A and B are shown apart, each in its own frame.
Chain A
Amino acid sequence: MKKLKEAARSSGLLFLFVFLAWPALVTAMDNGECFDCHSDETLTRENNEHGHINNLLFVDEGRFNRSVHHISGLFCVDCHTDIEALDYDNEVPHARQLAPVQCGNCHSESEAAFAESAHMQIRSKGISMTCYACHDYHYVSYLAGASVAEREDNFCAKCHNPHRSHDWLPKKEEHFAFVECTVCHAPEVPRHIHLKFFDLMTNKYYQGDEILEILGISYEQFMPLLDTDKNGILSRQEFEALELMLRQKNVHAIFHVELVAEMDPAAHQVTAEGAERNCEKCHTPESPYFNAVTIALPNKDGSVDHHRVERAVLESYSLRHFYIYAGTRVKLLDLIGIVLLGGAACGVLGHLTIRVLTIRLRRNKDK
């Protein structure tokens, strides 16, 4: 009986212990507990037995909190799935060597696209590319609002110097400045033209909230204010009305135009040999690359609100800092060309005809 009582007491205590300890286990999965150690800027790990290589284990909590994964509600242990509990009796409360994070568990389509990419093929040369080689470990940020320069600097240009491998490409400086690498190097990725407000005086992009503040409206009011015909796309006239509104507010921003890849898994299927080399694919008024044209209103966290714009805007003088040979030519100039060439041809033909018809007159005079 006594044993039974003891057993019951033990069970009760065990139950009480588990009940009380459970929140602690839950807390172990909360980021705060991870940052108790990993916010220490000197936290390192000796990576070999001689202690010559130190890995910094510091994670900047502020930057992490602004990352896509934190904003999306993920915790450290959602990626570091091999940490099930923290044991503070040990010097390191979890395994010293954690398993590599499997990004493909969530990003399976991107993983599949990456498997077909040139970055996967280089494994045969002994070079191993990981997701975080490009995307960083803990600070994965929104890219949709990033400019071509930001996209290149933070990704491709980390390893590649495009100037060394594009001698065949006319106007490569201009291409590198206005066209994202993956537009050509990931042929399957959807693309769009995005227009961002740019101040030439300060050499800075306007944030979406800055433009909205100038206009005195909220994000939700942007399209209702401008899209007067309510078709969901800003026409050329509506676009010009936006320009006028900004000018009336004494804002002389230009629209910076870039051709970028959409945030699509296919962007990971990067190829070198299969890259688009056919200039006429882009340099034609019918190019599918210009089907989607959007105004990008970037948010401070790097996300972006896109608002559709009529393609004809590309040919207008509203975008006077943007021109693609053949692709976005101004139709009015073609008309002027027809008048000039037609005028010259008609003048010549008319004069020649009269000359021919009056040959007899001149012959008679000569006689």
Chain B
Amino acid sequence: MSEKMIYIHPAPVRVWHWIHAAGIVALVITGFQIRYAEMLGIMPLRDAITLHNYVGFMVIIDYFIWLGYYLGTGKIKIYFPDLRTFVPNAIRQAKYYGFGIFKGDPNPHVMTPDNKFNALQQKAYVGLMFMLLPAQMISGVFLWRVKGYADYVHLLGGIKIIDTIHVILFFFFASFLIAHCYLATLGHTPLAHFKAMFTGYEEHH
């Protein structure tokens, strides 16, 4: 089988990705500790809150680095699906993940630097990066300084409403982490996508 190495992930994207990944993992762990302080003994609650706050701000800064890079290079468009082809592409991709992958069919999406996400990834990431992650960051900042942002907190219905948004999104991101790590094993070898996120090169077969 012929192999071709294509440079898909530029260095800034890889650095951003791993900082973001480490941040999300740390936020999930400390998030569980904060919510279930009486059940988990990973670290004292006080340390969990402090760490959660610091890492949260790190992820926020990292997010704006990502946004700046993608806006600055114009690559932001890879996150937005082509509405004319989106539905058939999404169905084709879902069929692949649901059936074709087990039979050894080729992935219908061919990754290129300008089109690295398949239709399902585009759908997931556009919601994730432009809606859910900003909502999580904003609700997190409000929870960080409830008194300081009291007016906004009241406007949005109260701290319990903000907390509800933050917690549901927290569970969503924790679930996403599981799915994301698993989906990353669906390359031509289980570690192919992991390697690519370090080297920048994806192998095409």
Contact = CB atoms under 8 A, between A and B. Distances in A.
Decide whether A and B are members of one complex.
yes
Interface of A: 168-171, 173-174, 177, 200, 254, 279-280, 283-286, 317, 319-323, 325-326, 329-330, 333, 336-337, 340-341, 343-345, 347-348, 351-352, 354-355, 358, 361-362, 365-366
Contacts, number: 113
A286 B170 CA distance: 23
B103 interface: yes
Given A330-B160, A365-B103, A285 B38 contact: yes
A341 B139 CA distance: 21
Contacts of A321: 153-154, 158-160
A279 B50 CA distance: 13
Given A279-B46, A333-B167, A320 B159 contact: yes
B172 A340 contact: yes
B38 A348 contact: no
21 contacts: A170-B46, A173-B148, A174-B147, A177-B147, A200-B154, A254-B158, A279-B46, A280-B37, A283-B37, A283-B45, A284-B37, A320-B159, A321-B160, A323-B163, A326-B37, A329-B167, A333-B171, A341-B178, A344-B175, A352-B182, A361-B102
Q: Which 6 A-B pairs have the closest CB atoms?
A: A320-B158, A362-B104, A344-B175, A284-B38, A337-B171, A321-B158
Classify chain B's interface size.
Answer: 35 or more
Contacts of A320: 157-161
Contact of A343 (B53, B145, B170, B175): B175
A340 B171 contact: yes
B196 interface: no
Interface in B152-189: 153-154, 157-161, 163-164, 167-168, 170-172, 174-176, 178-179, 182
A340 B45 contact: no
A60 B60 CA distance: 57
Nearest to A329: B35
Contact of A330 (B38, B153, B164): B164
Contacts of A173: 145-148
Nearest to B148: A173
Contacts of B148: 173
A343 B161 CA distance: 24
B80 interface: no
Contact of A174 (B44, B45, B146, B157): B146
A283 B39 CA distance: 11
A299 B122 CA distance: 60
Contact of A326 (B38, B153, B158): B38
A336 B170 CA distance: 11
Main SS class of interface, B: helix
Given A174-B147, A340-B171, A355-B101, 14 more contacts: A170-B49, A254-B158, A280-B45, A284-B38, A319-B160, A323-B160, A325-B35, A326-B34, A326-B45, A333-B171, A336-B171, A340-B174, A344-B175, A362-B104
Contact of B103 (A285, A340, A351, A362): A362
Contact of A333 (B37, B44, B168): B168
A332 B62 CA distance: 32
A169 B36 CA distance: 19
Contacts of B34: 325-326
A170 B53 CA distance: 10
Contact of B49 (A200, A325, A341, A358): A325
A169 B81 CA distance: 47
A286 B39 CA distance: 11
Contacts of B168: 333, 336
Contacts of A337: 167, 170-171, 174
Contacts of A329: 35, 167
Interface in B77-129: 97, 101-104
B27 to A, nearest CB: 15
Nearest to A362: B104
A254 B153 CA distance: 13
A347 B167 contact: no
